[in-house]
Amino acid sequence: MTERKSTKLVSAALALGILAACSPVGGPLLNPQGNSALLQSQSAARGSKIFNADARPQMAPNQVIVKVKPGDPNLFVQSLARSGARVVDFFDIDTRVFLVESASRNTDDLIRQFSQDRNVEIAQPNYLVSLNQIPAAPRQQGRPNMAAPNDPLYAQQWHLPHVGALDAWSQGGQGNKDLIVAVVDTGVDYNHPDLKANTIKGKDFTKESPDGLDPIDGFGHGTHVAGIIAAVANNGEGVAGAAPNVKILAVKVLSAKGGGSLFAIAGGIKHSVDMGAKIVNLSLGGPAVTDLISSAVGYWATKKGALLIAAAGNSNTAVGTPARIDDYYMAVAASDQANKRAKFSCYGKELSVSAPGVQIMATTPTYKVPLNDHGYPQNYAFLQGTSMATPLVAGVAALVWSRHPEWTAKQVRQHLEKTAVDVGAPGKDNESGFGVVNAAAALR
């Protein structure tokens, strides 16, 4: 308790110190307008790199994430003032971590400087992260399923019967309406007729909305992810989610261009858990890098009892960040109709499980979004990527947790791994993890 209290005091003192240090440069620190300008400039810099699977990590220009050493934080604030950089945000899980920005100096320069600062423990770039969905030509196909719900597009959702969803639903129900799964993504079209009843509004960490509070989907990706988890079933409309009775918490961390920074994502994860989410879906990632902030928030959320499920990545390389931090994130690979690793899916020893991620039919926004410019229709579309495999695992995890509310996140994860269908090389392998997730086996 006393430690907590003293941390709070240090934090308050530090905040005051920063305000004082920064007032000559440009007014109060954490005002939303200031942040808004910052994050918009990141979007502009990202340009058309949304689907770029290039291995070189992109980073927020002129920014670094700094962790200061324990002790008097004012020493850091003073050296910061001398450097002409300023703190633009802080990380409320770890009071020694700050997002620092310079108007004139680039990231490499800042890293060099802070690495030599005796008050600094670690300095790293604020890497940019993108959504893990890749374009695929839309396709119309499917066969009727006699036991299917009445959703007209259910017949095109091959992934549901493939993982035994109908069997699971008849054994264990369609999920607990009080269980919250956060979709930390581009936002969600919370007015979509197939999502509205199940969606709760969280916050917008991209600051695209004027008040920073509206998590409406500005790209189209998060709405698809949300539908895979919990589109309303048996309502005579559209598609069915894997756990159609649970709640979606819409949290926006990726901009209308499909990118965001690790700092914004960490904020979104923290917010999700604070809002009561048991499962956090992260259909996003960047190239494999060491990252203190994803580790810190992962550690914190795991201690709080949440299960973080993250896309392995679509670059056909090593598992990306944050999914590769396997102590705190459950990494999901994408598989195809033959249970083979999708050719784009990342692979490696960090994989937990695989799930169908090729030609997945689900919800898209009911209004025009950038996704439509890539040839995907409004309302419902096929998309593919580890972005689509991840929410299917989140949905099955939600079914399991609804059935066994007393289980810990670790128990839910281990149960999904134990009941996955072993494919490829016997036992756990680098192509599929423990195998392809199976709802029927998990609910049996």
Contact 66/110 with Cβ under 8 angstroms?
no
Among 185, 189, 217, 429, binds Ca ion (CB under 5 A): 429
Among 194, 208, 217, 350, binds Ca ion (CB under 5 A): 194
DSSP reduced 3-state for 297 = helix
Cα gap 333→326, rounded to integer Å: 13
Smallest separation, CB 236 to Ca ion (Å): 7
Stretch of residues binding Ca ion (CB under 5 A), selected from 146-154, 256-264, 308-316, 342-350:
146-154
Identity at 125, one-letter amino acid code: P
Among 164, 220, 227, 238, binds Ca ion (CB under 5 A): 238
Smallest separation, CB 137 to Ca ion (Å): 24
Q: Toward Ca ion, which CB reaches closer, 106 or 150?
A: 150
Stretch of residues binding Ca ion (CB under 5 A), selected from 83-91, 160-168, 208-216, 416-424:
416-424
Candidate list 185, 189, 217, 291, residue with the active-site label: 185
Q: Is 237 in the site for Ca ion (CB under 5 A)?
A: yes
Stretch of residues binding Ca ion (CB under 5 A), selected from 212-220, 238-246, 300-308, 365-373:
238-246
Stretch of residues binding Ca ion (CB under 5 A), selected from 124-132, 225-233, 263-271, 351-359:
225-233
Contact 277/180 with Cβ under 8 angstroms?
yes
Contact 263/91 with Cβ under 8 angstroms?
yes
Q: Toward Ca ion, which CB reaches closer, 151 or 217?
A: 151
HSE, CB side, 13 Å, CA atoms: give it for residue 127: 22
Stretch of residues binding Ca ion (CB under 5 A), selected from 126-134, 236-244, 348-356, 411-419:
236-244
Q: Which residue has the tokens 């992934």?
A: 159
Task: List Cβ neighbours of 147 (8 Å cut-off, separation of 6 or more).
Answer: 166
Cα gap 136→44, rounded to integer Å: 25
Q: Toward Ca ion, which CB reaches closer, 361 or 396?
A: 361
Q: Toward Ca ion, which CB reaches closer, 204 or 237?
A: 237
Tokens of 102: 């310079």
Task: List Cβ neighbours of 25 (8 Å cut-off, separation of 6 or more).
Answer: 86
Contact 172/439 with Cβ under 8 angstroms?
no
Smallest separation, CB 354 to Ca ion (Å): 9
Task: Verify whether residue 6 is a known catalytic residue.
Answer: no
Q: Is 433 in the site for Ca ion (CB under 5 A)?
A: no
Smallest separation, CB 168 to Ca ion (Å): 17
Nearest CA to 22 among 10, 9, 33, 31? 31
H/E run at residue 360? strand 360-363
Task: Verify whether residue 294 is a known catalytic residue.
Answer: no
Q: Is 223 in the site for Ca ion (CB under 5 A)?
A: no
Q: Is 422 in the site for Ca ion (CB under 5 A)?
A: yes
Q: Toward Ca ion, which CB reaches closer, 168 or 232?
A: 232
Q: Toward Ca ion, which CB reaches closer, 43 or 174?
A: 174
Among 89, 101, 151, 204, binds Ca ion (CB under 5 A): 151
Among 187, 365, 424, 433, binds Ca ion (CB under 5 A): 424
Burial class (CB in 10 A: 0-12, 13-18, 19+), 197: middle
Task: Count interface residues toward Ca ion (CB under 5 A).
Answer: 9
Q: Is 312 in the site for Ca ion (CB under 5 A)?
A: no
Candidate list 221, 224, 271, 415, residue with the active-site label: 221
Quickly count: other Cβ atoms within 10 Å of residue 31's Cβ. 10
Cα gap 164→174, rounded to integer Å: 13
Stretch of residues binding Ca ion (CB under 5 A), selected from 53-61, 167-175, 186-194, 200-208:
186-194
Smallest separation, CB 396 to Ca ion (Å): 18
Q: Name the closest residue to Ca ion (Cβ).
A: 151
Task: Verify whether residue 387 is a known catalytic residue.
Answer: yes
Q: Which residue has the tokens 């409309």?
A: 237
Nearest CA to 298 among 246, 333, 262, 244? 262
Cα gap 95→91, rounded to integer Å: 6
End-to-end CA distance of the chain: 43
**DSSP H helical ranges for 93-164:** 107-116, 159-162
- Using CA atoms, how far residue 368 sits from 113, 208, 254, in Å, is 45, 16, 17
Q: Is 395 in the site for Ca ion (CB under 5 A)?
A: no
Catalytic residue ranges: 185, 221, 387
- For binding to Ca ion (CB under 5 A), which residues are involved? 151, 194, 232, 235, 237-238, 422, 424, 429
